[in-house]
Amino acid sequence: MQATNLSYWEKANFYRSDVLIVGSGIVGLNAAIIIKKQQPNLSVSILERGFLPSGASTKNAGFACFGSLSELVEQEKICGTNALHQLIGKRWKGLQKLRSMVGDTKLDLQINGGFELFKPQDFTLSEKCVSKISHFNELIKDITSNDSVFNTAHQQINSFGFDGIDCLIENKLEAQLDPGKMIKALVEIASSLGVVILSNCTVNQFEQEENRILVATSQGNFKTKKLLFCTNAFANQLIPDLQLKPGRGQVLITKPIENLKLKGTFHYDKGYYYFRNVGNRVLLGGGRNLDFFTEETHQFGETPLVQNTLLRLLKEVILPYTAFEIEQKWSGIMAFGPELSPIIEEVKPNVFCAVRCNGMGIAIGSQTGEEAGEMVLRSF
Ligand SMILES: Cc1cc2nc3c(=O)[nH]c(=O)nc-3n(C[C@H](O)[C@H](O)[C@H](O)COP(=O)(O)OP(=O)(O)OC[C@H]3O[C@@H](n4cnc5c(N)ncnc54)[C@H](O)[C@@H]3O)c2cc1C
């Protein structure tokens, strides 16, 4: 589309940049910040198709997590012990970077611990996870500087008020934050460094010209020297052949509950369900595994199958003795792939991508954005 009535000044200052980033989620913002911090003279703009970021970064559950025990057991099978150690290191480093850049107060970060729940019928899995506690404590002690991150916490089952659960494993370093506050703070930092963030601007295609890249958008044509896609689940729409698929996450939140017993972040059924307290409300999400086919979508929305299962879980396991009402439901879109690590690469000369945070972008997003920004800087 050709934008009409653009002034000379608008074209020069908003439609030309040294680096153009697509996507204003956690990865895109972090990439922009690192580029401006290291090379303040480069002009950096971000184009975002939504009025607000419209993927996962402001729609997620706010778990500042680096892996529950059963997730780590599964992930070790996929990538091996050394690669998993490296990946946990990146998640941890990403979290620490986010905390030191934004500050815990601005993130509303609370370290209340994370807990994984198991039912009696999950005995084989819970036994396996309990038997792996010392292995994973040993594996991550150089990363976290703590030698007993994971512990059994069965004694807390009653105090949280759960029903039908007989095994609880705690990760004492897991934290929770407010993803809206996180993105607001990152936008503030990026803007203070001179990054231009333009919303309601969908990138439709790009084309290499002699020394520049022409980027066609819903608001007209932009020109840039370097183009970086931080579009996560939507990356395949403009860069086909990337090894990633979308995965929708459905979430609900209750109205405030008097004397709510649970506090912290909770994982259930190998991480396919997750819930936490948000003050005195409960936020619950997950259930993609009920129908992977339908949930492999770029469309936001809710389905009766997932919503009814979430409600049942709330009524029967999480809040069995407490009346509650649902206040709000929403969904977000994640990116998954055969490998656990993000794709951070140059896909064509001067065109880069940093995508596929595999559902754990709060932890690994800052690190991914930073690595992507450094990759772009090296190419100048
Ligand atoms: C329901 C849910 C719960 C989650 N819970 C957690 C959690 O508790 N902890 C955790 O660590 N992670 C969680 N995640 C995952 C985490 O949110 C993501 O991994 C992370 O936000 C990915 O960040 P990103 O910047 O790569 O992508 P996104 O935040 O998706 O950003 C990509 C942006 O690109 C924009 N875009 C796409 N295409 C275009 C285009 N053509 N033109 C312009 N803009 C475009 C999109 O609008 C979007 O804003 C959850 C995700 C969901 C959906």
pLDDT in tens, 53-78: 999 999 999 999 988 999 999 999 98
Whether ligand 1 lies within 6 angstroms of the CB of 171 is answered as no
Cβ atoms < 10 Å from Cβ of 364: 28
Total tally of structural domains belonging to the chain: 2
Whether 3 maps to a domain, the answer reads: no
Q: How far is CA 218 from CA 213, 215, 228, 231, 297, in A?
A: 16, 10, 18, 16, 23
Q: Identify whether residues 96 and 202 lie together within a single domain.
A: no
What's the pTM value of the predicted model, to 2 decimals?
0.96
CATH code of the domain in which 208 resides: 3.50.50.60
- Binned at pLDDT 50, 70 and 90, residue 340 comes out as confident
Q: Identify whether residues 321 and 264 lie together within a single domain.
A: yes
Q: Identify whether residues 123 and 251 lie together within a single domain.
A: yes
Q: Identify whether residues 301 and 354 lie together within a single domain.
A: no
State in Å: Cα 182 to ligand 1 middle.
13
Given a cut of 80, whether residue 183 has pLDDT beyond it is yes
Q: Identify whether residues 254 and 236 lie together within a single domain.
A: no
State in Å: Cα 56 to ligand 1 middle.
3
Q: Identify whether residues 141 and 272 lie together within a single domain.
A: yes
Q: Identify whether residues 297 and 204 lie together within a single domain.
A: no
Q: Pick the residue whose CA is nearest to atom 33 on ligand 1.
A: 23
Query: Per-residue pLDDT tens for 280-306?
Result: 999 999 999 999 999 999 999 999 999
Q: Identify whether residues 291 and 330 lie together within a single domain.
A: yes
Q: Pick the residue whose CA is nearest to atom 32 on ligand 1.
A: 231
Q: What is the mean pLDDT of residues 124-150?
A: 96
State in Å: Cα 50 to ligand 1 middle.
12
CATH code of the domain in which 108 resides: 3.30.9.10
Q: Identify whether residues 332 and 346 lie together within a single domain.
A: no
Q: Identify whether residues 84 and 127 lie together within a single domain.
A: yes
State in Å: Cα 246 to ligand 1 middle.
10
Whether ligand 1 lies within 6 angstroms of the CB of 22 is answered as yes
Take residue 277 and report the two structure tokens written for it. Answer: 């307290």
Whether ligand 1 lies within 6 angstroms of the CB of 369 is answered as no
Whether 1 maps to a domain, the answer reads: no
Q: Identify whether residues 174 and 249 lie together within a single domain.
A: yes
Range of the domain at 28: 8-59+180-243+339-378
First to last CA, the chain: 29
According to DSSP, the β-strands at 44-47 and 16-22 are parallel
